[in-house]
Amino acid sequence: MKKQVLQPVFKQGLRPTFQQIRQAAKTINGQPITRQEIAKLSGLTLGEVYVVEIGGWSSERNVQTVLRIFNALTGQRLTMNDIRERRAVPVL
């Protein structure tokens, strides 16, 4: 059975932040998903996960890592195009 990505209603024209999606989502077992859980499973710090959640300056690698963990926990297929535009840190 294919799960659909949650599409809560937000301000017209704006995609939701990852934080809004995470707070509305549940794991495959029906449990809420915490920032701490994503940080622990991803190997990122809580701060790094929070920056991704709010759409702040973050590396594409961190965004992809957080989304991969979220998708594994929920069975969804959330991509970077589904969340509010993030600002990637330029690679020097």
CA distances from 66 to 8, 21, 79 (A): 20, 12, 10
pLDDT tier for residue 63 given thresholds of 50, 70 and 90: very high
- Average pLDDT value over all residues in the chain: 82
**Does residue 4 register a pLDDT over 80?**
no
Amino acid identity at 50: Y
**Dihedrals phi, psi of 57, to nearest 5 degrees:** -65, 110
What does R_g of the chain's alpha carbons equal in angstroms?
13
Give the predicted TM-score (pTM) of the model.
Answer: 0.75
At residue 87, the 3 state secondary structure works out as strand
| pLDDT band, very low/low/confident/very high, at 5 (cuts 50, 70, 90) | very low
79-92 pLDDT, tens digit each: 888 887 655 555 55
Q: Which residues make beta-bridge pairs with 58?
A: 88
